[in-house]
Copies of this chain bind each other. A is one copy, B any other.
Amino acid sequence: MREECGVVGVVKYGDESHPVPAALQMYYAMYALQHRGQESSGITVYDGKEAHSIKGMGLVPEVYKKNDLLGLKGKVGIGHVRYSTTGDSRIENCQPFIVKYKSGSVAIAHNGNLINGPELRKKLETEGHIFVASSDTEVIAHLLVKELLKYDSVVAISNVMKQLNGSYSLTILIDDVLIAVRDPFGFKPLCIGTIDSGYVVASESVAIDTLNGELLRDVKPGELVMFLDGDIESHQLFHEVNSAHCVFEYIYFARPDSIIDGRLVYKVRERIGERLAKDYPVDADMVSPVPDSGITSAIGYARESNIDYEESLMKNRYIGRTFILPGQAMRETAVRLKMNTIAENIKDKSIILIDDSVVRGTTSRRIIDMIKKAGAREVHARIGSPPIVAPCYLGIDMASRDELIAAHKTTKGVEAVINADSLGYLSIEGLVDSIGFDRDDLCIGCLTGAYPVDIPGEKMCNRRQLKIHEFQ
């Protein structure tokens, strides 16, 4: 099951009473990661004797009542925000996933997607394992408990990782021990921060900022970090020759104020805009973003091109769950509820419109139509990512190959569909340069159709070589 998610973990040490309980700090941290999942949220805290949880459907402020949250005692815990892409949004699939077994309890919060999740589930079922939910996380929990019956936590997790194919940034609570794990390719982000008398692990550094903490470092690909008595114990369990960091965290998914694997997302997006200006210059009256995701690249484009940055679209900050009747008029209303044109800025102007990506092309078409209806003379679309030609199997909700417009059309073809006067996609080189990693250290499967891991029915890029550290 493909999911976009955010994970956190907090541990406080020492004997002194903590003015801000771990549960409350996770609550704030999940608030900072809300953009990574708005469908459900959960928190698990170990109180010295057992694990207690609060889970629920909805946004963070909807799930947690003050008194319930303050009732969650304990110095260590993990949390999760989730957005399911498959519609299987039952409360049973809410994370953290908590199980009890012979020696205690295990809670897991997972961001990522297992390629071999269904296969592992089938294998476990054959061995007699039974499942109550449909998430990969339950599969990981079963594998982990199997190993924990025989080995200590580090070996157990190492043995589990050997079996997993896919992306996973995990926060794990084995009784009262917080563990952070990142898959050997480092697909999804995971970082560590120091807070007052404690540590925080989170999908993005903005969660650390929110707790007035300091970003210490990223969890390394293939690394297991265990938090014990105020110390950090690192185990580099696996080592790939190359990483495979997800480029879409930089392009679209992460918050611009997050620092992921040493790169400030804002700067990456700014460089993307600059590169677009260099590669696809055009004489125009203004540079405008599609808010909010196009803003930073538009700033970069404007600066590099020396064309005025000017807003042509205004987003409604208050849009929530709404309902729309069938019909064309209603579909237009649905777009206008979210985004309105600033007609006076647009009229008779030639506009360079910066968007982060084009997936199906339908939203781009509606926005450009709206801008042209408001009187724009020309709309030149500049896209902050290369054409998306293949699906993501590793944790970003895109679309099926059938739906991806760039899988079926040339750039000229897409230009026509979205009704742009010109269209420029960022090149893969431009993207790689903007992020600042070696191309071989990025996952660009959705841009090339060749993936860093073996995916049934897809090509694998053949540059990699797995090196598993000997584990003593």
The residues of A with any CB-CB pair to B shorter than 8 Å are: 19-20, 24, 28, 31-32, 34-35, 38, 59-62, 66, 91, 97-102, 106, 122, 125-126, 128-132, 134, 141-142, 145-146, 149, 196, 206, 209-212, 255-257, 259, 264, 266-267, 292, 295-296, 299, 302-303, 308-311, 314, 316-323, 325, 327, 329-330, 332-333, 336-337, 340-342, 344-345
Contact = CB atoms under 8 A, between A and B. Distances in A.
A169 to B, nearest CB: 20
Interface majority SS (helix, strand, loop, mixed), chain A: mixed
Contact of A126 (B102, B196, B267, B319): B102
Contacts of A340: 32, 206, 209-210, 255, 257
A322 B341 CA distance: 32
Given A31-B337, A196-B329, A337-B28, A318 B59 contact: yes
Contacts of A341: 209, 257
Nearest to A322: B61
A322 B61 CA distance: 6
A329 B20 contact: yes
Contacts of A91: 91
Contacts of A210: 333, 336-337, 340
A34 B318 contact: yes
A66 B325 CA distance: 10
A367 to B, nearest CB: 14
Nearest to A81: B318
A318 B35 contact: yes
A316 B129 contact: no
A131 B310 contact: no
B31 A311 contact: no
A146 B128 contact: yes
A457 to B, nearest CB: 24
A34 B35 CA distance: 21
Contacts of A122: 102
A132 B336 contact: no
Contacts of A314: 206, 255-257, 266
A61 B337 CA distance: 12
A299 B303 contact: no
| Shortest 8 CB-CB contacts between residues of A and residues of B | A34-B318, A102-B125, A257-B314, A61-B320, A99-B130, A264-B344, A101-B130, A130-B145
A99 B303 contact: no
29 contacts: A20-B325, A20-B330, A20-B333, A24-B325, A28-B337, A32-B340, A34-B318, A38-B318, A59-B320, A60-B318, A60-B320, A99-B132, A100-B131, A101-B125, A101-B128, A101-B129, A102-B128, A106-B130, A128-B149, A129-B129, A132-B132, A209-B341, A210-B336, A210-B337, A211-B333, A257-B341, A259-B344, A266-B314, A266-B345
A131 B141 CA distance: 10
Given A255-B314, A337-B28, A212 B329 contact: yes
A302 B59 CA distance: 36
Given A128-B101, A337-B31, A321 B61 contact: yes
Given A314-B256, A317-B35, A340-B257, A299 B292 contact: no
A206 B101 CA distance: 40
A134 B211 CA distance: 35
Given A32-B316, A130-B141, 7 more contacts: A31-B337, A34-B316, A128-B149, A209-B340, A266-B345, A267-B345, A299-B309
